Amino acid sequence: MFKFAVLLFIIHSKKNFFKYMPFKYFPVNTRKIVFSNYAGMGYGCNPKYIAQLLLKTHPELKLIWLINPKNGDFKFPKGIKKVNIKSVRAFYDLCTAKIWVDNYHKVELIKKHLTKRPEQYYIQTWHGSLGIKKIEADVNAFITTKSWKEYAIENAKMQDYLLSNSEFEDGVYKSAFWGEGKILRIGHARNDIFFKENNRLKQNICKLYNIDENKNILIYVPTFRQGCSTKIYDLDYENLKNALEKKFGGDWVIFVRMHRNIKSKPDLQGKDYVYDASSYDDVQELLACADAAVTDYSSCIFDFVLTRKPGFIYAPDIERYNHERGFYYSLYETPFPVAQNNTELALNIENFEDNIYKSKVEDFLRGKGCVDDGNSSARAVELIEKLITDKSRE
């Protein structure tokens, strides 16, 4: 059927490759689901953990994953078919799948005239978790053009369900996505990993980076800045390592995980205890194996908080970032000690008290109404099971 569809496609549209595609007239396959992670990245985030469970429970389903080969040579488990997000095949699969599962908007595809058919469902998992940074409609500085905003609103209107992990996130979704889509507070699938035993995973990661598995791992995960400047990433790794070993004991190594928007690599010359983990597919796996974490404003720290392990904020540009991007609440309302320079970070580690920190974590999660409990993937699969058999839109 696909070859026939391509022939019609070519006959029907020579001048504008995507504008007049005939794929929307082909039958919707109720067993087909199309996944995407950050508009073409690898096998990760919430879509990964939903797909992972579907592979176990529903092998009869046809799972498609949209990738951009320019972003890397991604590896996927057997049972998931990779499709170039910019290909004709991608549009065919999108137009004939019963369900789309995505953690990011589809603005670039909508620009090429992608539309959702009435009998299809679009599940938006997003990629934050109790995140402090403002997103989408709440960030005027990021809506750079009128056309981008129009496409983003069009994307929001297509979303049938938004998967939230908290009362707090419910409110964010309502404002950030222009009030579009039904919000389901079922938790974030990617956070299920924090409720499991991950010793084997740590062994594999240590083997990959040639690290003794008995060493302690701190992961540093800064977010990007407008213009993707790297000047602000001035973390003193040696000072950090010394502070960690003095406070917690043992031998520590540091994983640096740069944001996907940052193309330049961190300068780690002469630091054999620091590893660039930016190309590792799944940051959740790194977080699950880490013994402590440092970030500035990345939502990953609000995933890591579920481990109850030490988390620290290193944010030398708080005021500027808040002015440019904006926060939903103050960093000082989080359980994480906040530092604006390397000296303060070392002092925060030195003065860290585990019992007080864990008490703050529980208060924070309770205050945000967080529902993550290790079963979010299962609840997402239950939703998909319901939609696959739903005939109300046919």
- pLDDT tens, residue by residue, 318-377: 888 887 788 999 999 999 999 999 999 999 999 999 999 999 999 999 999 999 999 999
What's the rounded Cα separation, in Å, for the pair 264 and 258?
Answer: 9
Residue 215 and residue 207: Cα distance in Å, rounded? 12
State residue 332's pLDDT score. Answer: 94
Q: How many other CB atoms are found less than 10 A from the CB of residue 70?
A: 8
Domain chopping of the chain, boundaries: 16-192+374-389, 197-368
Mean pLDDT score, 306-322: 92
Equal CATH topology for 16-192+374-389 and 197-368: yes
CA nearest neighbour of 80 among 44, 107, 106, 114: 44
| CATH 3.60.20.10 fits domain 197-368 | no
| Sequence-ordered list of residues with C-beta below 8 angstroms from that of 162, at least 6 positions apart, any chain | 124, 126, 173, 177, 181, 182, 183, 184
Q: What is the per-residue pLDDT across 96-143, written as a single tens digit (0 to 9) for each?
A: 999 999 999 999 999 888 999 999 999 999 998 898 889 989 986 555
DSSP, res 8: H
Contacts of 326 (CB under 8 A, 6+ apart): 133, 134, 138, 139, 141
Two tokens, residue 176:
């950030």
Q: Is 130 left (phi over 0), alpha (psi -120 to 50) or beta?
A: left
What's the one-letter identity of residue 109?
Answer: L
Over range 3-23, report the average pLDDT.
55
Query: Distance between CA 190 and CA 170 in Å, rounded?
Result: 18
Q: What are phi and psi of 206, to 5 degrees?
A: -65, -40
Q: Which pTM value belongs to this model?
A: 0.91
Bridge pairing between strands 62-67 and 292-295: unpaired
Q: CATH homologous superfamily of domain 16-192+374-389?
A: CDP-glycerol glycerophosphotransferase, N-terminal domain (3.40.50.11820)
149 or 155: which leads in pLDDT: 155
**Residue 229, pLDDT above cutoff 90:** no
